[in-house]
Amino acid sequence: MAEVTNFEHNGVTIETTESPEAMGGLSDNVVGLVGTAPNAGLGIPLNSPFRINTDTLAGLLDPTGAEAGTLYLVVKNILKVVKCPIYVVVVEKGATAADTINNVIGGVDAESGQVLGIPALANAPEVPTIIGAPGFSSEQSVHSELASLAKRIFCRVVLDGKDVPVAGQVLNSQAIGGAELGYDRCYVVHQMPAVYSKVAKGNVFLPPSSLAIAALASVKQWESPGNQVTYAADVSRTVEYNILDKSTEGDLLNKYGVSYYARTSLGGFSLIGNRSITGKFISYVGLEDALARKLVGAAQKVMARNLTYSFMKQEVERIDAWLQTLVADETIPGGSVYLHPELNSVEAYKNGTWYLVIDYGRYAPNEHMIYQLNASDAIIEEFLTEVLK
């Protein structure tokens, strides 16, 4: 007989479908630094991110023990505070300070096409959440490159303040660009902290950003590094701090988006300051960056899928479920996701474009506590009533 063309199978077929992949938690901190290490071991390349997460690997920045260059002591002191990946991009120390600055700024080699200096941080296998160039980042040419890169890869920057008195630092703050240039991601630190050096057999000063990078890396991205006790044994410029006084030099620095190290009742020197140079809470920046990086990673896996009803609904539900986990662990106070009711038009859809809106709240850092002490006669009256019974 002829073949039955509509016959499929005399039996059972089992087809399975998977629920949407969980988006997972927000990433931990990864530090990216650019600087010099003239005695670096053979295993550390120039102008290429090298991962350091132990003191042993940090030692490769100067196996001679001379502590040469800008990276060795900075990396060592970060690892004293927090164990996190640190990617270093080592650049050559130039014949002049200007030559070294050029090497830090970097770019693209015209002949080889290699990415050099600051831009090379973007090539790290783990995208940095905090970047800096301690010892160089007080220069406008350097901090503008760092701010630009931070805006592109969604990370925060810790910058050196200029080595000037408080009044000069305020003027410096006023001269630094705004949020549209990436400076809302920049945390500026006023004075140099002193740490112990085995070579000097005493304390030496590190760039201002060094211990602040450690403080920022030691807390979650959506938390402020302010009030963290540091390993600073001294500071290059004393700044008055008084938790009750609004007229101190420290309060003036904070008013202009500059953080600083000061002695507090916690003992030693703490980092004082919660805001970026534009006045935005640096914890808000860290949260936005962490959310953006997670959404970008999740989107990559579903690109080119057909925009069916079930697919779009599934994506909304997946993101909403993720937001609720962030609510549960107190990363955010609340959040929701929905399709934009106006931007999702026929024309947009025909062009393969659709809009998801993600509303979320943010926890503010405890920057200003106000205690109101009220002497109450009513309490005295109640007391006397009891006494005179």
Q: How confident is the model at residue 13 (pLDDT cuts 50, 70, 90)?
A: low
Q: What pLDDT score does 27 carry?
A: 75
Question: What's CA 356's distance to the chain center, in Å?
Answer: 25
**Residue 25 identity:** G
CB atoms within 10 A of CB 227: 16
Q: What is the mean pLDDT of residues 312-333?
A: 95
Tell me phi and psi for residue 123, to 5 degrees: -90, 0
Q: What pLDDT score does 17 carry?
A: 59
Q: What pLDDT score does 20 carry?
A: 65
**Residue 9 identity:** H
Burial of 38 (0-12, 13-18, 19+ CB in 10 A): middle
Of the candidates 189, 319, 321, which has an alpha carbon nearest to the alpha carbon of residue 261? 189
Of the candidates 153, 135, 143, which has an alpha carbon nearest to the alpha carbon of residue 93? 135
CATH number of 31-284: 3.40.50
Rounded Cα distance, 103 and 146, in Å: 14
**Residue 266 identity:** L
pTM passes above 0.95: no
Q: Residue 29, SS3? A: coil
Q: Residue 257, SS3? A: coil
Of the candidates 207, 48, 30, 227, which has an alpha carbon nearest to the alpha carbon of residue 131? 30
Rounded Cα distance, 226 and 305, in Å: 44
Question: What mean pLDDT is reported for the chain?
Answer: 94
Q: What is the mean pLDDT of residues 232-245?
A: 95
Q: What pLDDT score does 18 carry?
A: 64
Task: Give residue limits of the domains in the chain.
Answer: 31-284, 305-389
Rounded Cα distance, 112 and 361, in Å: 46
